[in-house]
């Protein structure tokens, strides 16, 4: 008989088993675009706290000299390379090439030499060379931050695990336009695909990493 309690129900099946950290991490910042922070944008989400946490993790990752990856969504004219996804979500027009809303958000801009992955679909791994690049760099742990939790973060999380990476989701550095999908997806990722951890735990780990 299944328990009525959510936590007990999942615990009985052995979900939420911790993975721990690996030895060679990379930080991935998923789609921190101005569209999510600009009032009046169709994608405005009020997620300034996620940006602040991501900035702290970015500074720590740079100090530890680990690989840092930025992803961005960008489409050709009329979204011809966006397929059904572009049709399903009209707000993706924010990411048409040349739209100011598609630029990296203030404080989360790549430095010269940091990897930028352009994508057209939710996962940072789908249709890109990200997995090959990380494996070639000896990365065994992928730390995910970004927007939105229920969309591109979740899709990237599932693919990260599927590509064999220990996957860490930075709870404080992810955001969504509503708390309900945000919390539900954090719960599910932690149950099945990743360790969902707070900012301070990840910062402490990065401080121990041998660069």
The predicted model scores a pTM of: 0.95
Alpha carbons 211 and 199: distance in angstroms, whole number? 20
pLDDT tens per residue across span 11-40: 888 888 899 999 999 999 999 999 999 999
Say which CATH number the domain at 50 has: 3.40.50.850
The pLDDT value recorded for residue 150 is 98
Alpha carbons 52 and 172: distance in angstroms, whole number? 9
The pLDDT value recorded for residue 13 is 80
Q: How far is CA 114 from the centre of its chain?
A: 16
Classify strands 68-73 and 25-30 as parallel, antiparallel or unpaired.
parallel
Cβ neighbors of 189 (< 8 A, separation 6 or more) are 154, 157, 169, 196
Q: Is residue 6 part of a domain?
A: no
In terms of residue numbers, what domain contains 129?
23-73+104-208
Q: Is residue 129 part of a domain?
A: yes
Residue whose C-alpha is closest to residue 189's, from 163, 150, 136 = 150
Classify strands 141-147 and 115-119 as parallel, antiparallel or unpaired.
unpaired
The pLDDT value recorded for residue 16 is 85
Q: Is residue 8 part of a domain?
A: no
Q: Report the pLDDT averaged over residues 97-107.
A: 97
Q: Is residue 2 part of a domain?
A: no
Alpha carbons 164 and 50: distance in angstroms, whole number? 26
The pLDDT value recorded for residue 211 is 60
Residue 210 clears pLDDT 80, i.e. is over it: no
pLDDT tens per residue across span 138-186: 999 999 999 999 999 999 999 999 999 999 999 999 999 999 999 999 9
Q: What is the mean pLDDT of the chain?
A: 96
Reply yes or no on whether 152 is catalytic.
Answer: yes
DSSP run (H or E) holding 112: none
Q: What is the dihedral of CA 151, 186, 136, 29, to 10 degrees?
A: 60
Residue 84 clears pLDDT 90, i.e. is over it: yes
Q: What is the percent of the chain where pLDDT is above 70? A: 98
Alpha carbons 28 and 163: distance in angstroms, whole number? 15
The pLDDT value recorded for residue 8 is 84
The pLDDT value recorded for residue 134 is 98
Alpha carbons 15 and 192: distance in angstroms, whole number? 6
Domain total in the chain: 1
Q: Where are the alpha helices (DSSP H) in 65-137?
A: 83-88, 130-136
| pLDDT band per the 50, 70, 90 thresholds, residue 48 | very high
Q: Which of 94, 152, 157, 174 is catalytic?
A: 152
Q: Is residue 193 part of a domain?
A: yes
Q: Is residue 9 part of a domain?
A: no
């Amino acid at each position: 008989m299944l328990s009525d309690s959510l936590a007990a129900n999942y615990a009985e099946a052995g979900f939420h088993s911790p993975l721990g950290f690996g030895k060679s991490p990379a930080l991935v910042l998923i789609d921190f675009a101005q569209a999510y922070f600009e009032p009046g944008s169709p994608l405005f989400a009020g997620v300034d706290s996620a940006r602040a946490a991501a900035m702290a993790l970015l500074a720590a990752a740079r100090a530890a000299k680990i690989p840092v990856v930025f992803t961005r969504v960008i489409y050709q004219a009329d979204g011809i390379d966006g397929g059904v996804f572009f049709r399903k979500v009209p707000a993706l027009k924010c990411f048409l090439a040349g739209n100011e809303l598609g630029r990296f958000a203030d404080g989360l801009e790549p430095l010269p030499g940091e990897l930028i992955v352009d994508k057209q679909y939710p996962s940072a791994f789908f249709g890109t060379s990200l997995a090959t690049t990380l494996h070639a760099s000896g990365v065994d742990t992928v730390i995910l931050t970004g927007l939105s939790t229920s969309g591109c973060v979740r899709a990237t999380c599932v693919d990260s695990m599927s590509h064999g990476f220990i996957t860490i989701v930075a709870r404080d550095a992810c955001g969504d336009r509503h708390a309900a999908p945000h919390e539900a997806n954090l719960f599910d990722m932690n149950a099945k695909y990743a360790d969902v951890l707070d900012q301070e735990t990840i910062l402490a780990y990065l401080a121990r990493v041998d660069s």
